[in-house]
Structure 1
Amino acid sequence: MKWHGRSRRSYTGKLLKPFRKKRKYELGRDQVETLIGERKIKKVRVKGGDFKIKVFREMFANVYVPSEGKVVKAEIKTVVENPAHVHYARRNVITKGAIIETSVGKAKVTSRPNQDGVVNAVLIE
């Protein structure tokens, strides 16, 4: 669990004393790196009572084919390119903006699997 808040130091370097304790709404969480494999998810309660579905592993993606105007369920083979991090493509980590190789062709991920609970993509033609 990670906490966020004001810095312990002022801009001059003086140590600042805490004026209150930590609050739950200041809580941050570690990023989940979505990999290719048998589907594994976790539901996390967030502020307001809503839920985020974190995807640890996923085998399939909902790929939109613009020429046909249809969405097909395609198997994810590998991650070709990932602009989020240099080594994500090598490790097959899926994030938003990643280019994935699917059974219907290359596609660009448009969803955030770490928060949406699903891998949506648009076919690159």
Structure 2
Amino acid sequence: MQWQAESVRKVTGGRRRPAQNKRRAEIGRAPADTHIGENRTRIIRTYGGNNFVVALRANYANVTDPKSGDTKKAKIANVEKNTANPNYVRRNLLTKGAVIKTEIGSARITSRPGQDGVINAVLLE
């Protein structure tokens, strides 16, 4: 579990005395780490009783061609580049901004698989 409230320490290093204790709503969750593989999703109950889908594994992406505007479902081969973390390329992690190799060509992921549960990408030139 990750606690996502304000830090006890200020930027200056001084101590901040919290007015309240930790709350259930301030708990975060571990990253989804979406991999390439047979589709696997998880439904998570969020604060307020809503649900959203988290993609744990995926092997297809909705790839849009910016010139024609056509969107096709393409199989993901591997991750070519990821500016967020070079280690993600070796682990084949799918994150927003990652460049993936598909059967259509190289594409950049525009959605957030760990938040949206789907992989949308834009075809590169």
Q: Normalized against structure 1, the TM-score is what? A: 0.88
Aligned to 1:59: 59
Q: CA deviation at 1:106?
A: 0.3
Aligned to 2:90: 90
Number of equivalences: 124
Aligned to 1:115: 115
Question: Which SS does the other structure have where 1:54 is aligned?
Answer: strand
Partner letter of residue 94 of structure 2? I
Instruction: Map 1:22-33; keep pairs closer than 5 Å.
Output: 22-33=22-33
Seen in structure 2, the aligned counterparts of structure 1 residues 92 and 12 have a Cα distance that, compared at 3 Å, is: closer
1:105 aligns with 2:105: yes
Question: Which SS does the other structure have where 1:25 is aligned?
Answer: helix
Find the aligned partners of 2:57 and 2:40 in 1 and give their Cα distance.
5
Unaligned runs of 5+ in 1: none
Aligned to 1:7: 7
Partner letter of residue 42 of structure 1? R
Partner letter of residue 7 of structure 1? S
Find the aligned partners of 1:7 and 1:101 in 2 and give their Cα distance.
40
Q: Normalized against structure 2, the TM-score is what? A: 0.88
Find the aligned partners of 2:35 and 2:122 in 1 and give their Cα distance.
19
1:73 aligns with 2:73: yes
Percent identity reads 44
Find the aligned partners of 2:69 and 2:4 in 1 and give their Cα distance.
43
Between 1:81-90 and 1:108-117, the stretch displaced more is: 81-90
Question: Which SS does the other structure have where 2:31 is aligned?
Answer: coil
Unaligned runs of 5+ in 2: none
Find the aligned partners of 1:46 and 1:97 in 2 and give their Cα distance.
25
Between 1:86-95 and 1:5-14, the stretch displaced more is: 5-14
Aligned-pair RMSD on alpha carbons?
Answer: 1.7
Aligned to 1:50: 50
